[in-house]
């Protein structure tokens, strides 16, 4: 029995070192590269390119990004995304995308203590936590603390839109 326990402990230690190495490698990528590598943010990446925000989010930061998935963008009314990606609507696209970014690195443990946060857009998002569920405006946070070299990503299931005023 002692040998089996010893092997289990050794295997767990090797797995922890391997996973730790993977986490460290993931954190070497900036927010944009981390999102692109995840594979579920193709629409967000296209929108960031159309808005000329890629270099900004590859910058030093730190940034906290509430990142909507491709499925979140698919929930927008038909034609909305296509219209936003047109060059003549760039200012509106920038306003929406920067509404998903909070200056500084705000990890989940800190986010849950907030009831609002000021975005790079200049407007505030509402934050609510009930039980295991965290909401940013009407978007549910599905994954927290995806670390990047210049900040953190929290994945959300809905695109959040800034208030009109």
Q: Find tokens 């929930």 and name the residue.
A: 75
Q: Identify whether the C-beta of residue 75 lies closer than 8 Å to the C-beta of residue 101.
A: no
Partners of residue 63 on adjacent β-strands: 103, 151
Phi/psi of residue 100, nearest 5 degrees = -95, 0
The reported pLDDT for the residue numbered 26 is 46
The reported pLDDT for the residue numbered 132 is 86
| pLDDT string in tens for the chain (165-residue length) | 333 333 333 333 333 322 333 333 446 899 999 999 999 999 999 999 999 999 999 999 999 999 999 999 999 999 999 999 999 999 999 999 999 999 999 999 998 899 999 999 999 999 999 888 999 999 999 999 999 999 999 999 999 999 986
User: In the chain, what are the domains?
Assistant: 29-156 (2.30.180.10)
The reported pLDDT for the residue numbered 165 is 65
Non-local CB neighbours of 28 within 8 Å, separated by 6+ positions: 149
The reported pLDDT for the residue numbered 27 is 64
Cα 151 from Cα 67, distance rounded (Å): 12
């Amino acid at each position: 029995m002692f040998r089996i326990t010893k092997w289990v402990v050794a295997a767990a230690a090797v797995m922890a070192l391997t996973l730790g190495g993977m986490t460290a490698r993931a954190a070497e990528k900036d927010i944009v590269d981390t999102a692109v590598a995840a594979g579920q943010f193709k629409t967000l990446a296209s929108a960031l390119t159309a808005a000329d925000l890629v270099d900004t989010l590859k910058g030093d930061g730190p940034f906290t990004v509430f990142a909507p998935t491709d499925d979140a963008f698919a929930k927008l009314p038909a034609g909305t995304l296509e219209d936003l990606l047109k060059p003549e609507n760039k200012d509106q696209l920038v306003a929406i995308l920067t509404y998903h970014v909070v200056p500084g690195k705000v990890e989940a443990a800190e986010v849950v203590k907030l009831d609002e946060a000021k975005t790079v857009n200049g407007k505030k998002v509402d934050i609510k936590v009930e039980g295991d569920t965290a909401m940013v405006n009407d978007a549910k946070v599905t994954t927290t603390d995806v670390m990047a070299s210049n900040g953190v990503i929290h994945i959300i299931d809905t695109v959040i839109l800034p208030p009109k005023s």
